[in-house]
Structure 1
């Protein structure tokens, strides 16, 4: 098993298309297929179910994807640290994130920090939230964009809430939910539910995923997609519905997807920045992120969320 094989696997898992994955990696489609076949032969099981018109992760592949993505991110972070030490470079600020929503805000905050305060060299690492938490605890990253649930109860951890939003359901135009002011878990029965990052099999499912599982509407047969943007695209073409929070409203709009409140006994999803107590090299990033949310920039993808930045010191 080598890095080229794993890079190809991650690309195909995220694109669910061999041609698109090949373009991302600047390889031929045949080369990507060869790497995947070689990896599957070495592992002894299939990672993808292929038809003439679609590519999907197998059950084993759905489990394997977040593990590989997190391990690769951890390895890359360790390499970056080691290189900086070996060359006596200025320490990098490494920020971890898990998907398009966090990526948008991380990029905006880093740009603002660099413009206003002068930020030390930085690097971005993408992984699932459980992996990011482990990397933060082990010191592989300096800060992560995460939810309050993920780091709750972990000692020596600081968290700044940026914004929160209530759970909701994203559905395609013309769906029966258009006529409803809100939906309950009973209304979700029989619907094909999409999940991001293989949530049902995650070591740390979100509160929303756990709630749906407890009420029997998120079975193992739920369709897994690699990230939120892919979920919205799938919703827009009628492949299913996506249960998340209004934090994602802006991204849904880009894909022409509608949303309706989910009536359930759950707290709002709170997104923020977490870092270990005693870390001083991320102050510029944190402060810039807070100022960014205070400003509520007009092109922000969050349209129906409560902004917390002005509520914290």
Structure 2
């Protein structure tokens, strides 16, 4: 086919989608009357639209006489192109509509291991089943790193403990709270106790999370000892509940875990603490000034899953 038969982008600028639909109808029906009825238009204006299309293209698309209509070689080529254009247009319109409703797009999510030690994985799974057009990227970060990334746009939403962190420009909602318990090897003397005091465990080898990840929570735990004139022996620092649990199971020391933790390994026992002790509250965090409809739908879904009150859904504008 020579260059004069190619449909240029400039030529497409002067066409209307309805002309493409009209042409597709007559190309498939090969009858002007039936094609006009199919697109719900009278035959005279229908025929005029086809004629105008041919004039705009500078090519004859149809051979017609009193008995039959057939496609020219240019018409057959243009028919395939018209089908493709309408398909892409409809796909684009559908995608934009789903984006506007939050059913399509990408979400970048940050989490801590403690946040995932909850119903959060189940809520994410159910959301993915309901919204298969949403792509989700999960990354594990400490709280400080999460908050910085949410501010800069590197994350859309985060799940972590925000204990006394600066929250300027960010919004949050508490999903759940857990008290801390003491995790000890299953053959430890504390397993026979109903509860353990900080004074009793002060001489134990304590496995703690690094202060850099949760500085305020780390300091509050140390203060709980300090108020009683105690100074715990921190023998190991490890990020994440599973790592701390593994060290406890291997007899390397004791650690604090959230109650009802799903990360408890075989060989570990959990013992309640006697004194009041800083707990673990997990929040969902987002930038209130920049989030997509898709992120908003996801956050509402998670909030509903954790039975967060209605004012949260109103805040994110869903």
TM range (shorter): 0.5 to 0.7
Q: In 2 relative to 1, CA 268–174 (structure 1 residues): closer, same or farther, beyond 3 Å? A: same
Q: In 2 relative to 1, CA 267–191 (structure 1 residues): closer, same or farther, beyond 3 Å? A: closer
Contact 1:96 1:124 in 2 (8 A): yes
Question: Match for 1:251 among 263, 272, 278?
Answer: 263
For the pair 1:159 / 2:172, whether they are aligned, the reply is yes
3-state SS of 2:272 partner: strand
TM-score normalised by L of structure 1: 0.56
Question: Match for 1:222 among 235, 239, 245?
Answer: 235
CA-to-partner distance for each residue in 1:131-187, whole Å, 9 max, x for gaps? 111111222101111114154x42332212221111211111121212222222111
Structure 2, unpaired ranges of 5+:
1-103, 313-318
Question: Match for 1:261 among 251, 257, 272?
Answer: 272
* 2:148 match: 134
Structure 2 counterparts to residues 1-313 of structure 1, below 5 A: 92-99=106-113, 101-102=115-116, 105-118=119-132, 120-149=134-163, 151=165, 153-196=166-209, 198-199=210-211, 202=213, 204-206=215-217, 209-212=221-224, 214=226, 216-219=230-233, 221-246=234-259, 249-252=261-264, 254-278=265-289, 279-280=291-292, 281-294=294-307, 309=308
Tell me the distance in 1 between the aligned counterparts of 2:279 and 2:239: 23
3-state SS of 1:209 partner: helix
Aligned residues: 204
Tell me the distance in 1 between the aligned counterparts of 2:114 and 2:163: 19
Tell me the distance in 1 between the aligned counterparts of 2:147 and 2:132: 27
Contact 1:166 1:261 in 2 (8 A): no
Structure 1, unpaired ranges of 5+:
1-89, 295-308
Contact 2:249 2:267 in 1 (8 A): yes
Tell me the distance in 1 between the aligned counterparts of 2:117 and 2:306: 14
Tell me the distance in 2 between the aligned counterparts of 1:170 and 1:135: 32
Aligned CA-pair RMSD: 2.9
Contact 1:117 1:284 in 2 (8 A): no
Tell me the distance in 2 between the aligned counterparts of 1:179 and 1:195: 23
TM-score normalised by L of structure 2: 0.56
